[in-house]
């Protein structure tokens, strides 16, 4: 760090030493002063303390409400007290109509009544953070204050940069990993520290320049997004401590109103927090005192033995005999899930409607769904098929022993993560529906056109114990690719070794053209932003780079892999 608080970026060896030294120092402080703080796990292979299943009620994240004004008022350029960001792009075209404040701070949280209450980090002090509900063609500005303690105790680092995964937006609001800030420190891609940062979310469909009369291509709509910290080298521990939440988008088609009289509306189960429920699944490990434990020496990928749903261990959720929309998110840090819906030891059907927040062209009836880290899946469960008093379980049956990923073995019974208790009939008839058609897909180029497009190959590998892309560790200040705004390209993702990598590409949704030369499964033929790269696999992805310029990221979303340099910067240029 220089005299102004600007941090320089270490190479991979120094980066790993810095991470473990910082975490160890925090752990020592935790043990000496505040035993109710998270700490570096020195017994991370030991089992967590026992907890009872289904005694906690599922928390449903609060819907964040806008504020009437912000002080100081938002500006195109850096505001008073704000960190040194770049100027907002296209501000005049997408002037914010709603304003929000989020305060990142330390707070007390109970994961389970059988464990001690302890300190976590959260947006507005909540785990998960509040849900932002937005609409297309209604731009918003979210001011995110960093109120974390500078001399914090435990693992993680108290500077933040918030990524909204995977909204189509300008680089200066994307939460680039080097854009982290606090009131005294700032990352290598900012120009100064600050106590807050203004994120300008245009909520426009991708393809705005080509479809300006409709403010973008409505076939490019996203529904289920999530926001999380993306601090360079510390994304894993900071999110592990609690820094994530949901951001949901609606439009004329997916209107969020099952009573919508508009003939174009899908009328899916609606009412965020009532019949439209976001669910983030995360695994954690706790030490012998019942405190959240994190192993900063593990670069493979952490696995926990306690399973959280919306921040509680194995909760229950009371439902009515009607349809519900559930928005499933694998919140990491490294575990894969294969979800099965069980009733009286028998698998049940559910309706799969969206992959990575993108509505499919048509719903799929399924009995299982596999999810890598950061993948999302929207499903509809119809509880009218079950009598009052029934109990159903969402079960993970996928076996996984380490950060390499699953070996495709299924557990016979699996782990029950969430219990649904069918308590009553709805007070009003259920008029929600799942229509036979959902959202059409944008056209793909023809095979002849695809062959003419630029192709980039990205190989995800390991070298000398560190994670690499194309043989290189991440360089936050050097783009690995420069792409002309408006370009179309084919990216080839290749995996090596015996590792799974859930690869996330910021900024634009892509289309999987093939997996190992074969057509992808039907649920992966829509738009996506996380591509699960299996050992030795090759995935071809079609991507567009539209409407904005600046620096963006592609990385493995295993929290330990990205923190240990499995990431690349690409710049969109004029």
The closest alpha carbon to 469, from 456, 482, 484, belongs to 456
Instruction: Examine the domain organization and report whether 402 and 539 are in the same domain.
Output: no
pLDDT at 12: 42
Answer yes or no: is pLDDT of 127 > 90: yes
183-194 residue pLDDT tens: 999 999 999 999
**Helix residue ranges, H only, 155-276:** 235-240
pLDDT bracket for residue 65 (50, 70, 90) = very high
pLDDT for the residue 275: 99
Residue 11 has pLDDT above 70, yes or no: no
Is residue 310 assigned to a domain? yes
> What pLDDT, on a 0 to 100 scale, did the predictor assign at position 5?
59
- Terminal C-alpha separation, the chain: 32
Average pLDDT, stretch 513-525? 96
Extract the runs of DSSP E, i.e. beta strands, from 110-259.
118-123, 132-135, 140-146, 162-165, 196-201, 224-229, 244-250
Q: Is residue 361 part of a domain?
A: yes
**What residues does 568 pair with on adjacent strands?**
554
Please count the residues of the chain.
574
**Residue 194 resides in a domain:** yes
Does a structural domain hold residue 136?
Answer: yes
Q: Please write the tens of the pLDDT for every residue from 318-351.
A: 999 999 999 999 999 999 999 999 999 999 999 9
Q: Give the range of the structural domain holding residue 391, as residue numbers without chain letter.
A: 276-424
Contact between 188 and 476 under an 8 Å Cβ cutoff? The reply is: yes
Structure confidence by residue, pLDDT tens digits, 130-143: 999 999 999 999 99
Reply yes or no on whether the pLDDT at 436 is more than 50.
Answer: yes
Which one has a higher pLDDT value, 419 or 27?
A: 419
pLDDT in tens, 207-216: 999 998 888 9
pLDDT at 471 over 80: yes
Question: Is 148 within a domain?
Answer: yes
- Per-residue pLDDT tens for 247-295? 999 999 999 999 999 999 999 999 999 999 999 999 999 999 999 999 9
Cα distances (Å, whole numbers) of residue 476 to 89, 270, 329: 21, 41, 27
Domain count, the chain: 3
Look up the pTM and report it: 0.94
Residues 549 and 455 in one domain: yes
Neighbouring C-beta atoms of residue 465, cutoff 10 Å = 10
Residue 195 CA from chain centroid, whole number:
24
Residue 29 has pLDDT above 60, yes or no: no
Chain-centroid distance, C-alpha 287:
26
307 and 415 together in one domain: yes
Residue 409 belongs to some domain of the structure: yes
Tell me if 172 sits within 8 A of 181, measured CB to CB: no
Q: Say whether both 170 and 282 belong to one domain.
A: no
Q: Tell me: pLDDT of 10 over 60.
A: no
Structure confidence at residue 451 (pLDDT): 97
Query: 284 lies in a domain?
Result: yes
pLDDT confidence bin for 46, thresholds 50/70/90: confident
476 and 398 fall within a common domain = no
Statement to judge: residues 399 and 465 lie in one domain: no
* pLDDT value at residue 444: 96
Does 211 lie in the same domain as 310?
A: no
pLDDT of residue 6: 63
Residues 243 and 368 placed together within one structural domain of the fold: no
49 inside domain: no
Same domain, 290 and 380: yes
């Amino acid at each position: 760090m220089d005299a102004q608080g600007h941090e320089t970026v270490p190479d991979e060896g120094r980066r790993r030493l810095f991470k473990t030294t910082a975490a160890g120092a925090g752990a020592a402080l935790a043990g000496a002063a505040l035993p109710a703080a998270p700490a570096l796990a020195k017994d991370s292979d030991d089992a967590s303390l026992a907890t009872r299943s289904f005694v906690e009620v599922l928390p449903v994240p609060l819907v964040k409400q806008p504020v009437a004004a912000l002080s100081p008022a938002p500006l195109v350029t850096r505001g008073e007290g704000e960190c040194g960001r770049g100027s907002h792009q296209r501000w005049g075209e997408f002037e914010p109509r709603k304003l929000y404040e989020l305060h990142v701070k330390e707070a007390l949280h109970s994961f389970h009544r059988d464990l001690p209450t302890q300190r976590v980090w959260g947006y507005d002090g909540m785990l998960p953070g509040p849900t932002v509900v937005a609409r297309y063609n209604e731009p918003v500005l979210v001011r995110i204050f960093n109120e974390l303690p500078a001399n914090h105790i435990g693992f993680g680092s108290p500077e933040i940069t918030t990524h909204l995964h995977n909204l189509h937006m300008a680089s200066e609001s994307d939460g680039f990993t080097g854009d982290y800030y606090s009131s005294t420190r700032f990352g290598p891609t900012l120009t100064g520290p600050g106590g807050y940062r203004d994120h300008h979310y245009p909520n426009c469909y991708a393809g705005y320049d080509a479809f300006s009369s409709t403010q973008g291509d409505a076939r490019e709509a996203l529904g289920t997004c999530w926001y999380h910290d993306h601090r360079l080298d510390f994304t894993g521990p900071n999110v592990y401590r609690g820094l994530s939440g949901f951001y949901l988008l609606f439009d004329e088609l997916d209107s969020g109103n099952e009573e919508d009289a508009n003939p174009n509306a899908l009328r899916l189960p609606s009412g965020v927090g009532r019949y439209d429920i976001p669910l983030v699944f995360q695994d954690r490990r706790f030490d012998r005192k019942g405190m959240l434990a994190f192993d900063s020496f593990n670069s493979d990928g952490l696995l926990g033995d306690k399973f959280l749903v919306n921040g509680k261990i194995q909760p229950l959720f009371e439902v009515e005999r009607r349809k519900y929309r559930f928005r499933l998110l694998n919140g990491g840090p490294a575990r894969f899930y294969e979800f099965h819906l069980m009733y009286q030891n028998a698998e049940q059907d559910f309706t799969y409607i969206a992959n990575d927040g993108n509505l499919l062209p048509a719903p799929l009836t399924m009995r299982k769904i596999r999810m890598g880290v950061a993948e999302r899946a929207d499903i509809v469960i119809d509880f009218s098929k079950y009598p009052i008093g029934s109990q159903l379980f969402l079960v993970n049956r996928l076996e996984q022993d380490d950060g390499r990923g699953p070996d495709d073995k299924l557990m016979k019974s699996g782990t029950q993560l969430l219990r649904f208790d069918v308590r009553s009939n709805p007070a009003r008839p259920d008029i929600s529906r799942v229509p036979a058609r959902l959202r059409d897909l944008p056209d793909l180029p023809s095979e002849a056109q695809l062959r003419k497009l630029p192709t980039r190959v990205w190989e995800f590998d390991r070298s000398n114990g560190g994670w690499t892309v194309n043989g290189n560790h991440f360089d936050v200040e050097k783009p690995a690719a420069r792409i002309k705004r408006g370009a179309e390209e084919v990216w080839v993702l290749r995996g090596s070794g015996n590792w799974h990598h859930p690869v996330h590409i910021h900024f634009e949704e892509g289309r999987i053209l093939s997996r190992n030369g074969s057509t992808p499964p039907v649920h992966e033929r829509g738009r996506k932003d996380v591509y699960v790269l299996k050992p030795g696999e090759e995935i071809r992805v079609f991507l567009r780079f539209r409407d904005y310029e600046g620096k963006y990221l592609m990385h493995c979303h295993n929290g330990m892999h990205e923190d240990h340099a499995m990431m690349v910067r690409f710049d969109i240029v004029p």
